[in-house]
Amino acid sequence: MTRSKPFTWVAAVIFALIAIIHIVRLSTHFQIIIGSHTIPMWVSIVGVIVGAFLSWMLCREARGTTGP
């Protein structure tokens, strides 16, 4: 029996929300401007990939399935 890892689940949810926010930004073409700089859309593509990957790996860690 594996122990529940609540903080790992919380981190997985946070990374999943970050990925979802980036998906919404990509689908609505929302522009982010900080000072005089515009953040390019490719940053959100990277954000989706990294956020989803980290969320998936943390879910696996929380469930106790680490590999084959």
**What average pLDDT score do residues 4-12 get?**
88
Model pTM score: 0.82
Residue type at 68 in one-letter notation? P
Q: What is the DSSP letter of 35?
A: T
At 2 the pLDDT is 57
Is 8 within 8 Å of 66 (Cβ atoms)?
A: no
The structural domain count of the chain equals 1
Please tell me the predicted confidence (pLDDT) of residue 12.
95
Q: Which helix (H) or strand (E) holds 38?
A: strand 37-39
pLDDT of residue 63: 81
pLDDT above 90 (res 67): no
Range of the domain at 51: 12-31+38-63
Q: Is residue 68 part of a domain?
A: no
Band the pLDDT of 53: cuts 50, 70, 90. very high
